[in-house]
Chain A
Amino acid sequence: MEPQFSDQPGGFVGKPLVRVEGREKVTGKAKYSAEFALPGLTYGVIATSPIAKGKIQSIDTTAAARELGVIAVLTHQNLPKLAKTPNDAAGKKDTGAPMGFLPLTGDEIFYAAQPVALVVADTLEHATHAATLVKVNYAPQKPIADFHDPKAELFDPEKVQDGKQKGHTKRGEPQAAFASSAIQLTATYTHPVYNHNPMEPGSTTAHWEAPDRLTVYESTQGVTRTQSSLAAMTGMPREQIRVITKYLGGGFGCKGAMWPHTILTVQAAKAVGRPVKLMLTRPQMFTSMGHREDQSQVMKLGASADGKITSLIHTKQSTTSPWDNYAEPNSKIVDLLYASPSFESSYELARANVMTSTFMRAPGEAPGSFAIECSMDDLAARLGVDPIEIRLRNYADHDYGTGQQWSSKSLKQCYARGAELFGWSKRNPKAGATRDGRYLVGMGMASASYPVHNSQGTARARLYADGHAVVQAGATDLGTGTYTVMTQVAADSLGLPIEKVRFELGDTQLPTAPNSGGSVAAGTVSSSVYLACQDVWQKLIKAAVIDKKSPLYRAKPEDVAVEKGRLFLKKDPKKGEPFGELMKRGEITDIEGMAQGKYGSGYEDAAAAKNADATEKDQAGHHSMHSFGAHFCEVRVDMDLGTIRVSKWVSVIGAGRILNAQTARSQIIGGAIFGIGSALMEETIRDPHYSRYTNADLAGYHVPVNADIPNMTVEFVEEHDPYINAMGVKGIGEIAMVGVAAAVANAVFHATGKRLRDLPLTPDKVMMAGLPS
């Protein structure tokens, strides 16, 4: 077993340190990917298809090419060819592309706003205007808009999430158990397309420094994955491609893989022989980097007369693209949360003229928790039992899906502390019975959970004799605090003050870190940083025991410990010296440590990481590893107008070690707001006849504004989990929004007595449900 981090007296880990890069950001010095001013830089703008299905008959680029400043107009007819595209199964696997189709490789149109040309010009304005002058003649065909379309054909994909997860799972005899259950609940839960909409749109700056050397400044959640995709598509060795992401303005999953605009920019830079910068427009963000698919879930819950679950049956229908079998794996959390003796899940997909959907914050867990957590609320209401009590009656003391014990689970503490902070005891057990003037007031709650996925990554730590250090990992900071928390971990591990440690990330020249996604980054990177620092000490201990002038001369390395930068004999702590003295005496200017940190099942059992199926890989350790939490929500519903305002919020989370109390709180708040948005207002609307979005901008696609959000209370339950990684960190990026939509919908049910299952809960749906007056 690898060493485990332990808290240092007066250490920085866990403290509410302000962001180390905060000043750079607010003064505009932090360089985001589209802010690198390279010599000879040109600007790329994509022209897109107005139709969702059909064929390009001809393209006339003369008018665009004639425009002032235009350098090239690239289409499928003249774009440099690639070594590999994702357009066939092998190519898709090799390139790691999230979509099995690359635009500008042919004349067929599969989805609205599909790129058809890329204009490169000397200024953004020239390129933008010229892109509108590319004349394309289409032979349009009638598109299929979604799985509701009469022409859409539903099919069983066998595997979902792009082949990474099993579509069908079954435990026990759920159908028979349901049929014989005293209580049988069946309900359909639906939600529309959601788009990630990070503040920073996707952007790429591609610079061919030599014919065989490419540098890409990219807005991505993972420089390594982008590098690997670029290598496969260009046919160049990885080491000749450098990808840099110093700062990221949010991602939420849409920057988790490399989308078409990136490689198109690289090809364009090759074609014009100059660096090209391309930033997607806000409307293009709705059709360029995936989305959360529109879907319908049928949740069947069987229970005994005393409220114990006997059967859970979950089916999901959703829309996917012409090429890929993508569906969020909603059923996993349905299977996980409660002690059900039987379970079954299945998926149906229909192909439509849309791009491929992708992971979006808590993919599967977010919508899946909406279904199961509203069903639990229904069960509580049916029996007249408190919603927390019904969850405790069905509390899973182990993982019923895998039979494994939990690595740690603080859910009961989350319920109890959340209820206390929220004032749950004041809740009227009767729904639709609490009023304040013309407002109906309701309180709801929901459980949350998110897996500790399998992951690993490497970090390097360089300690200088003068007492400062540079620590590096090719990780990403999505804006959530990676720079800060890794600086804290390195400072404690090296016994240095914060200001003496510099943490660098976001570059493929640095040691390889995983994508910042699936909540793995904090745990994986912090573990690798901690272990890299331990490697530094091991090297210095070896130097000390052979240094005749060291008090530790001839000691056995395993007998030497390090605390606050001082090396000493464990048996005789007075015998030792600070690292600076040792290094200066030995003329060691600097010393470097490097280590791999493992996260999840691979930490417990190295063989676990070899499994191909993502779920099986996660489950291949000895324990079932998950974070748990509870969200509490109060809403005020205008009984006449149907508007809903969240008036109180409490989240209590048990997620292992919390690295920074302030950035962690911010992340939970951000995730909860993300979930409130999905519950109350977010919706990308696709026209049923044109299969094209009608509200693809931030005026039409509503995300919460400050006025929608009350002061929020967040607490973490102290949790020590020795099974998950060297730091005991579970990660909090996604659990923050799991269960949030259900907590809101449950509060609305409690306020109104009406169960609304079609998100978002806009005023029209609430009002038309017929509220008590």
Chain B
Amino acid sequence: MNNFSYTQAASTKEAATAAQGDKNAAFISGGTSLIDLMKSNIEQHSLLVDLNKLSLLGIENAATGLRIGALERMSDVGENPQVVQNYPVISQALLASASPQLRNMASMGGNLLQRTRCGYFRDTAFPCNKRVPGSGCPAQDGDNRTLAILGGSESCIATHASDLCVALVALDTKLTIENAKGQSRSVLLSDFYKLPGKTPHLENQLQPGDIITAINVPAAAHARKSHYLKVRDRASYAYALVSAAVGLDVQGGTIRSARVALGGVGTVPWRVPAVEKALVGKAPTEENFRAAAALAVRDAAPKEHNKFKVELAQRTIVRALLEVMA
């Protein structure tokens, strides 16, 4: 970890101004991810601008949707009764993340920006195109068991590690982002993340000085009947091998709308519209679930050690859909 300066901002404007003075500045909120990255010398920031004094709080459940302040802690949102009742997939994804201690500290906005757990990215002794553009990607023919089968490129197959984002992209979530000039814009979370392509170091649409201020989830019947299923190597405190966020609106024995997204398999949180489309108009049966789930992995490009994810992703979707119907 390098030496760095630290300052606390009282407003988004103050934060943006502070950050603009130093091109190696970073914002810090919970710090559970950033400090790890700095301790491992993966990121080196000369200035940390603390956002925790900003008033980006609140969990507001309205008829139109849910608005979550970016500085809300993961545990507070995961245990919020309104979220549990109206957006179970979000609550379940949050409570399946990390450990209670980390969830108490980590912010919602920060979670959206967490970086991959790929072992080659996490150890500066290895080449890694995401960490050092152009240095190479040993994961392609190395230890790739936990890496992506969807959305990868020759440059990078690192998996996006968040559980929360899988639930949020499934529910058409939009972010409110404020720029350095104090202007707000709204971005669909599924557009927010960038596929690695030849530039895996560019992960999202944030510009210098941008601050995520809120997370907005539209209300929907499929949000109320939703579920998150996470398959992992141990019962708790592990990243997903595969996870699925699903939501169904079933009326009169027919699926009226469906939402399905996958975690652990994509280089970004992986929504599968083809699966959703295949479900709509069908009866919620295991057979129909299975046929639809097969569409999720049509474009899968597995490597030597992650071939199992092609099958496991389908089974995870089916199981999640069965459980949401149970």
Contacts and interface: CB of A to CB of B under 8 A. Distances in A.
A298 interface: no
Interface stretch (B9-17, B86-94, B140-148, B247-255): B140-148
Contact of B119 (A129, A694, A706, A768): A694
B123 interface: yes
B234 A132 contact: no
Interface in A717-773: 762-764, 767-768
Interface string B224-259: 000000011111111101000000000000000000
Interface in B14-53: 41
B312 A696 contact: no
B312 A642 contact: yes
Nearest to B241: A763
Contacts of A697: 122
26 contacts: A113-B125, A129-B3, A640-B315, A640-B319, A641-B312, A641-B316, A680-B234, A681-B234, A685-B143, A685-B145, A687-B126, A692-B123, A692-B125, A692-B126, A694-B120, A694-B142, A697-B122, A702-B233, A704-B234, A705-B235, A705-B236, A763-B231, A763-B241, A764-B241, A767-B308, A767-B315
A465 interface: no
Nearest to A281: B39
Interface in A681-700: 681, 685, 687-690, 692-697, 699-700
A702 B236 CA distance: 10
B1 A705 contact: no
Contacts of B141: 689
Contacts of A613: none
B311 interface: yes
Given A705-B234, A708-B234, A764 B145 contact: yes
A129 B312 contact: no
Interface centre among B120, B141, B308 (most CB of A within 10 A): B308
B1 A128 contact: yes
Given A641-B231, A702-B233, A690 B1 contact: no
Interface string B157-183: 000000000000000000000000000
Contact of B235 (A438, A645, A689, A696): A645
A22 B138 CA distance: 47
Contacts of A687: 126, 138, 142-143
- Chain A interface residue bracket vs B: 35 or more
Given A112-B125, A688-B142, A767-B308, 4 more contacts: A687-B142, A690-B126, A694-B120, A697-B122
B71 interface: no
B231 A699 contact: no
Interface centre among B232, B234, B238, B241 (most CB of A within 10 A): B234
Contacts, number: 96
Contacts of A132: 2, 41
Contacts of A706: 236
A696 B231 contact: no
A305 interface: no
Interface string B110-129: 00000001011011111000
A754 to B, nearest CB: 15
A764 B120 CA distance: 21
Nearest to B309: A764
B237 A643 contact: no
B74 interface: no
B126 A707 contact: no
Contact of B233 (A283, A690, A762): A762
A212 B45 CA distance: 45
Contacts of B145: 685, 764
Contacts of A125: 1
Contacts of A68: 3
Interface centre among B231, B235, B238 (most CB of A within 10 A): B235
Interface string A93-112: 00000000000000000001
A283 B123 CA distance: 10
B234 A767 contact: no
Interface in A274-319: 283
Contact of A681 (B120, B233, B319): B233
A50 interface: yes
A702 B319 contact: no
B311 A767 contact: yes
B297 to A, nearest CB: 14
Contacts of A764: 145, 241, 308-309, 312
Contacts of A112: 125
* A-B pairs with lowest CB-CB distance, top 6: A694-B119, A50-B125, A707-B235, A764-B308, A707-B236, A694-B143
Interface of A: 50-51, 68, 112-113, 125, 128-129, 132, 283, 438, 640-643, 645, 680-681, 685, 687-690, 692-697, 699-700, 702, 704-708, 762-764, 767-768
B295 to A, nearest CB: 18
Contacts of A438: 319
Nearest to A52: B125
A695 B238 CA distance: 13
A696 B233 contact: no
A768 B233 CA distance: 15
A132 B315 CA distance: 45
B129 to A, nearest CB: 16
A680 B232 CA distance: 12
Contacts of A641: 231, 312, 315-316, 319
A132 B43 CA distance: 13
Contacts of B232: 643, 763
Nearest to A698: B237
B231 A643 contact: yes
B260 interface: no
B186 to A, nearest CB: 34
A702 B126 CA distance: 21
Nearest to B236: A707
Nearest to B242: A641
Contacts of B41: 132
Nearest to B237: A705
B318 interface: yes
Contacts of B143: 685, 687, 694-695
A702 B238 contact: yes
Contacts of B142: 687-690, 694
Contacts of A688: 142
A707 B319 CA distance: 21
A268 B316 CA distance: 54
Contacts of A694: 119-120, 123, 126, 142-143
A694 B120 CA distance: 6
Given A112-B125, A681-B234, A685-B143, A763 B119 contact: no
Contact of A640 (B2, B233, B318): B318
A129 B319 contact: no
A699 B311 CA distance: 25
Contacts of A129: 1-3
A708 B312 contact: no
A640 B308 CA distance: 12
A694 B138 CA distance: 10
Contacts of B308: 764, 767-768
A690 B140 CA distance: 13
Contacts of A692: 123, 125-126
Interface in B283-326: 308-309, 311-312, 315-316, 318-319
A700 B122 CA distance: 10
Contacts of A645: 235
Contacts of A700: 117, 119, 122
Contacts of A680: 234
A165 to B, nearest CB: 32
A708 B235 contact: yes
Contacts of B315: 640-641, 767
A696 B123 contact: yes
Contacts of B3: 68, 129
A700 B126 CA distance: 16
A642 B41 CA distance: 36
B135 to A, nearest CB: 12
Nearest to A48: B125
